[in-house]
């Protein structure tokens, strides 16, 4: 089963980082967040990726092309024949298709442009800027159980600031940036059927608007409720949180083994 990852956005709220790279290439623990997402999927056996490129897509292309070389233990470069022999190192068993989907194409349009590469079968879909510890095989099992066109992972939004519980003026409980206990939001990590392409008009379609709204109206959109870790990386504050978790907090999304 293929995994489509949208990686073409500009990332305007991370401009300090995204002036020179697309948001999915912003690093957490020395690795692009895109790598973290792919490691998550690969842990559950999903190793075929189709990545929708846009803004500074050449940076992602170069990273993927150079990955094997940079993660080898030894290289032999034959200048005359322009060949490279790679020895040792750690290289994942991934197939990665990198598809240019336009600079200004919206999310729905990017998904539609991937249609020729997905085949007429169920596929995974997510954004290149969010991590989670969602159990992807359980998500797929849920999707297959209901027979609808689309499943999204519904998550509790993380609180922006610390949460406090009072007894009068005394603080009896303090939680630093917990997930809120009320409401659900779209956490991406979709499983979808090829029929979703019919809901997307073209490049100017935002997936989160008309397509999801119409799928819901048609009774074709289901929610897989995920109550554990989820975090997007929209701002420098988010990046710092994820970096701190990676360095000191155990990184809840790191479900794979090195």
Identify whether 254 is part of a domain.
no
What is the pTM (predicted TM-score) of this model? 0.88
In this structure, how many other beta carbons lie within 10 angstroms of the beta carbon of residue 124? 24
* Contact between residue 105 and residue 8 where contact means Cβ atoms under 8 Å apart: yes
- The reported pLDDT for the residue numbered 17 is 79
More confident residue, 112 or 162: 112
Per-residue confidence at 88, pLDDT binned at 50, 70, 90?
confident
Residue entry with tokens 């990273």: 63
Residue 62: closest CA among 116, 14, 20:
20
More confident residue, 77 or 109: 109
Identify whether 180 is part of a domain.
yes
Find the domain containing 92 and state its range: 2-249
Average pLDDT estimate for 169-180: 63
More confident residue, 162 or 150: 150
- The reported pLDDT for the residue numbered 217 is 95
Identify whether 171 is part of a domain.
yes
> What is the Cα 109 distance to its own chain's centre?
17
Identify whether 213 is part of a domain.
yes
In this structure, how many other beta carbons lie within 10 angstroms of the beta carbon of residue 206? 13
Per-residue confidence at 15, pLDDT binned at 50, 70, 90?
confident
Average pLDDT estimate for 39-53: 98
- The reported pLDDT for the residue numbered 177 is 57
Name the token pair of 17: 């980082």
- The reported pLDDT for the residue numbered 203 is 97
CATH number where 231 lies: 3.90.550.10
Residue 165 has pLDDT above 60, yes or no: yes
Question: What span, in angstroms and rounded, lies between the C-alpha atoms of 19 and 26?
Answer: 11
- The reported pLDDT for the residue numbered 143 is 97
H/E stretch holding 139: helix 136-146
> pLDDT tens for residues 236-249?
989 999 999 999 87
Question: What span, in angstroms and rounded, lies between the C-alpha atoms of 60 and 23?
Answer: 10
Phi, psi at 246, each rounded to 5° = -65, -40
Domain count, the chain: 1
Q: In this structure, is the dihedral angle defined by the CA atoms of residues 30, 35, 41 and 42, taken in order, positive or negative?
A: negative
Least reliable range by pLDDT among 53-57, 97-101, 178-182: 178-182
Name the token pair of 232: 């997007």
First to last CA, the chain: 23
- The reported pLDDT for the residue numbered 45 is 97
- The reported pLDDT for the residue numbered 168 is 80
- The reported pLDDT for the residue numbered 166 is 76
Coil, helix or strand at residue 245: helix
Coil, helix or strand at residue 120: coil
- The reported pLDDT for the residue numbered 10 is 83
Phi, psi at 83, each rounded to 5° = -120, 155
More confident residue, 227 or 179: 227
Identify whether 89 is part of a domain.
yes
Residue 97: closest CA among 78, 70, 73, 116:
116
User: Average pLDDT, whole number, for the chain?
Assistant: 90
Please give the share of the chain, as a percent, with pLDDT higher than 90. Answer: 70
Identify whether 94 is part of a domain.
yes
Identify whether 256 is part of a domain.
no
Identify whether 151 is part of a domain.
yes
Q: In this structure, is the dihedral angle defined by the CA atoms of residues 63, 68, 71 and 77, taken in order, positive or negative?
A: negative
Per-residue confidence at 182, pLDDT binned at 50, 70, 90?
low
């Amino acid at each position: 089963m293929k995994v489509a990852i949208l990686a073409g956005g500009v990332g305007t709220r991370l401009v300090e980082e995204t002036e020179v790279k697309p948001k999915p290439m912003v690093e957490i623990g020395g690795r692009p967040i895109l790598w973290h997402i792919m490691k998550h999927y690969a842990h559950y056996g999903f190793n075929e990726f189709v990545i929708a490129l846009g803004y500074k897509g050449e940076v992602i292309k170069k990273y993927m092309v150079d990955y094997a070389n940079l993660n080898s233990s030894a290289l032999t470069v034959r200048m005359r024949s322009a060949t490279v022999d790679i020895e040792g190192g750690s290289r994942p068993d991934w197939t990665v298709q990198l598809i240019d989907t336009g600079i200004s194409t919206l999310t729905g349009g990017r998904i539609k442009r991937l249609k020729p590469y997905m085949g007429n079968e169920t596929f995974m879909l997510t954004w290149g800027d969010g991590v989670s510890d969602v159990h992807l095989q359980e998500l797929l099992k849920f999707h297959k159980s209901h027979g609808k066109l689309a499943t999204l992972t519904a998550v509790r939004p993380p609180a922006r600031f610390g949460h406090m519980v009072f007894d009068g003026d005394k603080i009896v409980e303090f939680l630093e940036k917990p997930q809120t206990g009320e409401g659900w939001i779209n956490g991406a990590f979709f499983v979808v059927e090829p029929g979703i392409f019919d809901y997307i008009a073209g490049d100017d379609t935002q997936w989160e608007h008309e397509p999801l709204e119409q799928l819901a109206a048609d009774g074709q959109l289901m929610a897989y409720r995920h109550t554990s870790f989820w975090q997007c990386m929209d701002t420098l504050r988010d990046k710092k949180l994820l970096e701190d978790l990676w360095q000191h907090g155990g990184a809840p999304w790191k479900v794979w083994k090195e």
